[in-house]
Structure 1
């Protein structure tokens, strides 16, 4: 049986939870990282022939510690018997939707730490620990269309996703110069009906001029469910030419 390893952040709810659920298949090993453990997935994994390791880590508090722990865990596991090793940086934090000067400093720091700093640290740890593995190595950074176009009262989130896009481009160049380099894509997954969308629809319209656009996306039925978005992302990950473009949108696939 072919074995595949998946490391997923933000796996306790939303898109991350849907990804983990759909990846619970025979021969799959999952390492899940989130503030709260996804306890339901361990039971489900046993019935599906998969294995789950669940870490309760707050990436806003200890991103460097999480990266160090990941590198240590990967080195101890080793790449023997694996057909592929995959990192999905999905975790994100959305601060208050307001002009930058009105966003609490702690929220700015948290959003950048979870959405960009942690993703960079975990990517670096993954690459270093798996450098000599013969398995195909792939990284998906879950980005957003807002990393590619500006929106008022969303400067922090937009900046985190733009940074994710650009560091992915840089890493793609680095890995292309290595024998058996990893493939990396910063992937916009479409508009998904998650808690983040609820937060945007609930924002103060006086501070967030685009609030009604997000309300209409919901009322007009234009949002993917987490399950639909997860299926599209995993289909993109499985493409033979995954990594051909380091910044992509699942809707263009």
Structure 2
């Protein structure tokens, strides 16, 4: 039986990406998950749910690996589904440093490659491969940091601002695809653990994030994943190109 929905999720082995992938594993769905390593739980979930799961292993911070992954999708994406969804979720908050200490060009390049470049090349592959006659939807996972300057997050803010602006360009080009760049709120993931372990001299807001964790104010990945998938499936998706999940029930 051919799938009615083909979905691609990056950063799918943990955190929000894993929660999105898990929620997408339903009958009639062909899920392509992209992460640095395979996830055994997703494999087990797929066998129980009856969904088709294809796990692609790639380090998207490596431009060559991201290109190879995109090329593979362009060649092998199933062509007969009704709906195609791409969720660019993979990302990193590192390096976390004040401007005067952002001296590791390789670390900065890795962040831009993962947060921006990989999304751009995957979107290009998606536009080439997903039939123009189908319902095509692209969601880029952004951050409030791309819209509000945050000391210590110069690289993260810059990458998310770039992703936001790229999404606006994509929308302006009128490819017959619905697109949005979404801030998902503060989620209890490994990224948050890294943030809480930051040096206060480099990231002055660290205490705020520690208190949010302490007071149970972080959303769970599963709860946000369900909200995001309802948001993508809604008829109004793409009406607001720069959006925030907190604007939606």
TM-score interval (norm. to shorter): over 0.9
Unaligned stretches of 5+ in structure 1? none
TM-score, reference length from structure 2: 0.94
Tell me the alpha carbon deviations over residues 52-104 of structure 1, each in whole angstroms, 9 at most, x when there is no partner.
Answer: 00011011112222211221122xx21x1x12000000000221321133232
Q: Which of structure 1's runs of 4+ aligned residues deviate more than 4 A? A: none
User: Within 2, Cα distance between the matches of 1:100 and 1:40?
Assistant: 40
Tell me, in whole angstroms, the C-alpha distance in 2 between the residues paired with 1:42 and 1:135: 27
CA RMSD, 1 decimal: 1.3
1:73 aligns with 2:68: no
The Cα of 1:168 is off from its aligned counterpart by 0.5
Q: Aligned residue pairs: how many? A: 244
Q: TM-score, normalised by structure 1?
A: 0.93
- Say whether 1:84 aligns with 2:80: no
Task: Please tell me whether the aligned partners of residues 100 and 156 of structure 1 are also in contact (alpha carbons under 8 angstroms).
Answer: no
Q: Deviations over 1:113-138 (max 9, x none)?
A: 000010111111101222x4422000
What's the counterpart of residue 29 of structure 2?
28
Q: Aligned pair 1:199/2:191, yes or no?
A: no
Tell me, in whole angstroms, the C-alpha distance in 1 between the residues paired with 2:18 and 2:99.
30
Q: Residue by residue, what CA displacement relative to the aligned partner does 1:23-44 show, whole Å, maximum 9, x if unpaired?
A: 1111111001100112221221
Shift of 1:196: 0.7
Structure 2 segments unaligned to the other structure (5+ residues): none
Q: Verify the 8 A CA contact 2:95 2:111 in the aligned structure 1.
A: no
Asked if 2 retains the 8 angstrom alpha-carbon contact of 1:30 and 1:51, the reply is: yes
What SS class does the counterpart of residue 138 from structure 1 fall into? strand
SS at match of 1:153: coil
